[in-house]
Structure 1
Amino acid sequence: MQKKSFRVEEENSGLRLDKYLSQKLRNFSRSHFKYLIREGKVRVNYLPQKPSYLLKERDLVEVVLEEREFKDISSIRLDIPIIYQDEDVIVINKPPGVIVHPVKRGQPSVVGDLLSRQIKLANISSRRPGVVHRLDKATLGLMVLAKNNLSYLDLVSQFKERKVVKEYFALVEGVFPEKEGKIDLPLKRAKYKPRMKVGFIEAKKSLTFYKVLKEKKNLSLLLLKPHTGRMHQLRVHLSFLGHPIIGDEKYGGRKEGLLFLHSCRLGFYHPQNKEFKEFTLPLPLEFKEYLEKG
């Protein structure tokens, strides 16, 4: 069980209790806070209140982030490699073809593997325990999960404030005329398909920096640094420029049985001691071999 407390600011005086909490803890829905309030997990000046209670300046708001059981997650052991762990965080090397958290019963997943090994994960979300960011099912490489709720909130905040360092290797089709640059193209959800696309109306700013590391024939090995974290951002940006990632059939890449996109560097501030932790992985052998074949 974790507890968070807030002192109401002048500008938030008159705001509903449930709305105030949803603004303070943005990774939770307003309906979730209504549930917590009705369950007595939220108090104002040490007293229970209704979701519609109008706050006053200097009110003390306390919320208990309750523990939940992970009833819908199948604990299927996969022995995913652990790069680092302590009492607060765990960093893994996610293999390709494994989803981060299951969307239906019986699915093998990163979360299910860790739970099967008796590794404790933050339990704010019963559907996505410990998950503070995600990698696509086909993407491999570094990923961090939170082992308790305070670490979860801290890491989620770091991702939102873009304090986390993320870099990827990508093997793509074609040769770039400029060997270093940025891709500044807004993205939006495609209307009829579960994918993203470049758009200029009701789209979100999306920025990726790239550097060409090596070229051979009609292939380029890139180092990618996403400044924003949109769904499928790297894949869509490169596809739009005519350089789809090898193996990315969804966005126009050639079929290879492996998406050649690798999370190779991950850095964040430790939630407890605030020390900057950084992890790196070398270029996978499959990438080297494919590039050498040309």
Structure 2
Amino acid sequence: MTLRKWTFTVDPEDAELRLDQLIAKRTELSRRSAREALKLGGVQVDRKRVKVAGKVVKPGIEVRVAFDPDLPPVPTTPIPVVFEDAWIIAVDKPAGLATQGTWATDRHDLLALLKTQRPDLSLFLHHRLDQGTSGLLVLGKDPKANKGLAEAFAGRDLEKLYLARISAPLEACTVDAPIGRIRGADPGRFGTANPQSGSAGVDLIEPRSARTDFRPATAEETAGLVPGHWIVARIHTGRTHQIRVHLVHLGHAIVGDALYGGAASDRLWLHAWRLGLKHPVTGEDLRLEAPPERFRA
């Protein structure tokens, strides 16, 4: 079984139905599965998650339902904290964990897990990592930090370094190529109009400027890691799948990146390694690092 999704508008004759009844009528789910989807956070009414099975929805309102019967148990693994003070917290996100809620759930993600780990905190998200990517993620703890973090991640005042393993050597280079969603791609993918990536002539939705610097990693930087062709990527913009897409642009997909044609592996070999930024409240220069422990030999 795989993720299944439905979108529909409530008809006048269904206006008196409970939400679980409505979902069972308008989708292929039973009422039991509808209630499970609601509990997991897989139901949105007017673009807002709803978990109340007895809710009645007015005619004309859009309902989105997503259900994945193969979701694993809700994770309970503690999230490692790399840095914390009164205003921000930096964590080392495990691979395989979504940063925030997905179509089918708002319980199997980093934010949900941090809320159970640290119920005393109100956390504010300003950037994301792909589900398969591990490493550094910085969140605001106090509203005083939000403006500075938002400006930092929206601008180019950060030094964001990633480690990636590819299948063949790559010389130092810079890719400055707009990235856009590939129209009609299922599952959703991003791309650049580039012959090496097999995307020449593709229809890109709203391509936006993107720049990434690549260089081979040094022996010192990769000491103790699984042998292979390791590179360091520095991103100057924050586009979805940016490093993955720019490496495909060069004909060097990341090992384990099945979505973009990378060599087969049981993991995506991409890690958010180091982050340099000015503290959003104190102005202090922060140099944060999450060692790539999952790639050690």
2:81 aligns to what? Answer: 82
Unmatched tracts of structure 2, length 5 or more: 1-48, 52-72, 195-203, 220-226
Check whether the contact 2:124–2:139 (CA below 8 A) recurs between aligned residues. yes
4+ residue segments displaced more than 6 Å: none
Cα shift at 1:145: 0.6
1:159-178 alignment runs, 5 A limit: 159-176=153-170
Tell me, yes or no, if structure 1 residue 232 matches structure 2 residue 238: no
Q: Tell me which amino acid in the other structure corresponds to 2:165.
A: L
1:85-104 alignment runs, 5 A limit: 85-103=84-102, 104=104
1:42 aligns to what? Answer: none
Aligned residue-pair number = 208
Counterparts in 2 of 1:153 and 1:75: CA distance versus 1, 3 Å: farther
Alignment TM-score, normalising by the size of structure 2? 0.64
Tell me, yes or no, if structure 1 residue 192 matches structure 2 residue 191: no
User: Which whole-Å CA distance do the structure 2 matches of 1:231 and 1:278 have between them?
Assistant: 24
2:264 aligns to what? Answer: 255
Tell me, yes or no, if structure 1 residue 108 matches structure 2 residue 108: yes
Q: Tell me which amino acid in the other structure corresponds to 2:172.
A: E
Check whether the contact 1:214–1:220 (CA below 8 A) recurs between aligned residues. no
Q: Tell me which amino acid in the other structure corresponds to 1:93.
A: D
Check whether the contact 1:75–1:112 (CA below 8 A) recurs between aligned residues. no
Cα shift at 1:175: 1.8
Counterparts in 2 of 1:121 and 1:230: CA distance versus 1, 3 Å: farther
1:1-150 alignment runs, 5 A limit: 77-103=76-102, 104-105=104-105, 107-122=107-122, 129-150=123-144
Q: Deviations over 1:2-56 (max 9, x none)?
A: xxxxxxxxxxxxxxxxxxxxxxxxxxxxxxxxxxxxxxxxxxxxxxxxxxxxxxx
Q: Tell me which amino acid in the other structure corresponds to 1:82.
A: V
2:25 aligns to what? Answer: none
Cα shift at 1:77: 3.4
User: Which whole-Å CA distance do the structure 2 matches of 1:145 and 1:188 have between them?
Assistant: 26
Counterparts in 2 of 1:282 and 1:75: CA distance versus 1, 3 Å: closer
Check whether the contact 1:88–1:148 (CA below 8 A) recurs between aligned residues. yes
Cα shift at 1:284: 3.2
Cα shift at 1:121: 4.5
Q: Tell me which amino acid in the other structure corresponds to 2:179.
A: L
Counterparts in 2 of 1:220 and 1:268: CA distance versus 1, 3 Å: same
Cα shift at 1:76: 5.7
Q: Deviations over 1:178-199 (max 9, x none)?
A: x322111111111012221103
1:205 aligns to what? Answer: 209
User: Which whole-Å CA distance do the structure 2 matches of 1:154 and 1:148 have between them?
Assistant: 11
Check whether the contact 1:120–1:148 (CA below 8 A) recurs between aligned residues. no
Q: Tell me which amino acid in the other structure corresponds to 2:248.
A: S
Q: Tell me which amino acid in the other structure corresponds to 1:99.
A: A
Q: CA RMSD in A?
A: 2.6
Alignment TM-score, normalising by the size of structure 1? 0.65
